[in-house]
Amino acid sequence: MEMFFYGFMQRAFQASLLIAIIAPILGLFLILRRQSLMADTLSHVSLVGIALGFLLNLNPTFTTLIVVMVVAVILEYLRIEFKSYSEVSLAILMSGGLALALVLMSFVDGGTNTSIDQFLFGSIVTISPEQVQILAALCVISVVMYFVFRKPMYVLTFDEDTAFTAGLPVRLMSICFNVLVGVAIAVIMPIAGSLLVSAILILPAAIAMRMSKHFDYVILVGIVIGIIGMLSGLSVSYYAGTPAGATIALVFIALFVVTSIGKQAAKQFRKKNDIV
Amino acid sequence: MHYIEVENLSFRYEDEPVLQNIDFTVDAGEFVILTGENGAAKSTLLRNILGLLKPSTGFAKISPVNVRNEKLAIGYIPQQVASYNAGFPSTVLELVQSGRYQRGKWFKRLDKEDDVHVKRALDSVGMWDQRNKKVGDLSGGQKQRISLARIFATDPDLFVLDEPTTGMDIESRTQFYELLKHNSEFHGKGILMVTHDHEDIKQYADRHIHLVRKEDSPWRCFSMDSCKEPSKPHY
């Protein structure tokens, strides 16, 4: 329990709880819209924002937000234009974003390797009170938007053509969702790291989808999974001295494997005992 | 009253024309079937009508209002409905309830009237007992039936259906056609349905539009051959 006496760990736990609420809300829609790779792309491209921040001597969080929002809109355009092979444009943007970020970083004076490392791998224990406040605001926005737009998003996610004929502004909704994901990635990235942010967003929802057949319950189960994964990962990383973001991602993967095996075993059991 | 109006519509994919000179209307209370060989651009025509694709020339428009001057509600079933989003985490009941959202319930709770529509829709396709099953666990034919239930729950003014009976047995198909006929005849619904099943459905439909390949075109380009039978202008 000693870890709770440290201010940085208290903030880390607060941030973890907030991320655990945000992640399944965004993650579920990302998975169902087959945009899991988009989260990865945005997290790589967000490094350009970090590099621009250092280069222009601006707050990197601010420049990242701008860059990620612009790219989120571009991604929606590419998704529509290259519907049948949209992963190609994602792959180009992902590697292009990382390459551009590294080139821009080389123009920044002084040693920036530490800084870029921090954004690549993240550091939840160095989180500032301001970052916790921004996360809290993002959490409130995500939850409110989920409750307000749950029904339109359900139909949009089920089938875009059906949503369009039902009179929903499909394009606008998609862009707004992408921008929200972009903002979430920009805010979570310094904490979880560019390389792991998409895993933290996607995995709780992916696990919850295997455990619940009700749409709303998936989000709730995802939040519970998120809390278990984030808090246990953080605790393990504290005692084992391992990187927090990586440990959390590994805990989520372990949970995914365990629930998959458990579900398969339950299925076999039901089949064996003829339970419908 | 025209619910669908298509005038001199042509459509091309890049340089290749696939539809030319299409003209027809679908009125309130009219049941129209659209047929043609495989690849005859039937789905493309529906997508032009719905605004999912843009015609190269001419136009296709859907009336913004119904015969009561209220906002017209469209019920659309795309082709190969059984294949989409197999892992979608939703029960049959939730999916069919979502058909009610476009009836002014995007931001409101569903009420008792909605429950009645949902129950009736699920009963009409024989899926009420399966309402708590996960959508992804259903067979292709069952998925087809719940997508039909979903639009019956919407109770739209205009049905646009793209081969909706794929995977259904003859008995279910007949029941479905009778239900559509009842909806057009007694409730004034407009229906445009793509089908390969035109022999079975002939006795129910008011009009049959057949897309035929244009003989003078080097492309696989289709135009209309409309066998117009006396239509019943109730509305």
Record the tokens describing residue B49, joined without a space: 């009508």
Whether chain B has a CB inside 8 Å of the CB on A32: the answer is: yes
What is the pLDDT, as a whole number, of residue B172?
A: 85
What would the two tokens of residue A256 be? Answer: 């995914």
pLDDT in tens, B40-69: 889 999 999 999 999 999 999 999 999 999
Total domains present in chain A: 1
Largest CA distance in chain B: 57
Residue B231: per-residue pLDDT: 43
Cβ-based contacts of B89 with chain A (< 8 Å): 28, 32, 208-209, 212-215, 218
Contact flag B94-A167 (C-beta cutoff 8 Å):
no
C-alpha to C-alpha distance for B136 and B126, rounded to whole angstroms: 18
Closest by CA position to A151, among listed B104, B78, B111: B104
3-class secondary structure for B70-122?
CECCEEEECCCHHHCCCCCCCEHHHHHHHHHCCCCCCCCCCCHHHHHHHHHHH
pLDDT the model gives residue A223: 96
Q: Is A152 within the bounds of a domain?
A: yes
Q: Which residue is closest to B50 within chain A, CA to CA?
A: A165
How distant is the Cα of B80 from the closest Cα of chain A, in angstroms? 12
> Do A165 and B84 lie within an 8 Å CB cutoff?
no
- On whether residue A52 sits in a domain, the answer given is yes
CA distance A227 to chain B (A): 21
Q: Do B76 and A154 lie within an 8 Å CB cutoff?
A: no
Q: Do A151 and B98 touch (CB under 8 A)?
A: yes
Q: Would the pLDDT of B95 be above 50?
A: yes
The verdict on a CB contact (< 8 Å) between A158 and B76 is no
- pLDDT, one tens digit for every residue, chain A (276 residues): 677 788 888 998 999 999 999 999 999 999 998 888 888 888 888 889 988 988 888 888 889 889 988 998 888 888 877 776 767 778 888 888 889 988 888 887 665 555 667 777 777 777 889 989 999 999 999 999 999 999 999 999 988 899 999 999 999 999 999 999 999 998 888 888 887 888 899 999 999 998 888 998 999 999 999 999 999 999 999 899 888 888 999 999 999 999 999 988 888 888 787 765
Rounded Cα distance between A32 and A151, Å, is 14
B95 contact residues in A (CB cutoff 8 A): 158
Shortest alpha-carbon distance between residue B47 and chain A (Å) = 9
Domain membership of residue A100 as a residue range: 2-194
- Asked if A260 is an interface residue toward chain B (Cβ–Cβ < 8 A), one would say no
Q: Quick one: pLDDT at residue B88?
A: 82
Query: To which H or E segment does residue B60 belong?
Result: strand B57-62
Q: In this structure, is residue A111 part of a structural domain? A: yes
pLDDT band per the 50, 70, 90 thresholds, residue B84: low
Query: Which stretch of DSSP H or E encloses residue A179?
Result: helix A170-192
The predicted pLDDT at position B230 comes to 41
Residues of chain A found within 8 Å of residue B87, distances taken between Cβ atoms: 32, 209
Complex ipTM, two decimals?
A: 0.87
Q: Residue A81 domain-assigned?
A: yes
Nearest of B159, B146, B137 to residue B97 by alpha carbon: B146
Closest CB from B85, B133, B137 relative to A158: B85
Please say if the pLDDT value at position B178 is more than 50.
Answer: yes
Domain-located, residue A82: yes
Q: Name the pLDDT band for B85 (thresholds 50, 70, 90).
A: low
Can you spell out the DSSP letters for B24-58?
A: EEEETT-EEEEEESTTSSHHHHHHHHHTSS--SEE
Q: Does residue A94 belong to any structural domain of this protein?
A: yes
- Chain A CB contacts of B70 under 8 Å are none
Chain B interface includes A158 (CB < 8 A): yes
Considering chain B, what percentage of its residues have pLDDT values greater than 90? 55
Nearest Cα residue in chain A from B150: A162
Inter-chain touch A158–B98, beta carbons under 8 Å: yes
pLDDT of residue B81: 65
H helices present in A159-169, as ranges:
160-165
Q: What is the pLDDT of residue A2?
A: 76
Q: What is the spatial distance between Cα A193 and Cα A261, in angstroms, rounded to a whole number? A: 29
Which pLDDT score is estimated for B152?
A: 95
CATH of the domain at A55: 1.10.3470.10
Residues of B with CB under 8 A from a CB of A: 47, 50-52, 71, 74-76, 78, 84-85, 87-91, 94-95, 98, 101-102, 105-107, 132-134, 137, 160
Query: Is there a contact between A213 and B84 if contact means CB atoms under 8 Å apart?
Result: no
**Residue A238 placed within a domain:** no
pLDDT in tens, B97-119: 999 999 999 999 999 999 999 99
Residue A214 vs residue B234, higher pLDDT: A214
The pLDDT assigned to A1 comes to: 67
Q: Looking at the complex, report in whole angstroms how far the Cα of residue B107 sits from the nearest Cα belonging to chain A.
A: 7
**Distance, C-alpha B95 to centroid of its chain:** 18
- Provide mean pLDDT across the span B154-177: 90
Cα(B126)–Cα(B96) distance, rounded to whole angstroms? Answer: 13
Q: Check if A212 contacts B (Cβ < 8 Å).
A: yes
Residue A36 domain-assigned (yes or no): yes
Report the pLDDT value the prediction gives residue A92, as an integer from 0 to 100: 84
Look at B227 and A247; give whichever has higher pLDDT. Answer: A247
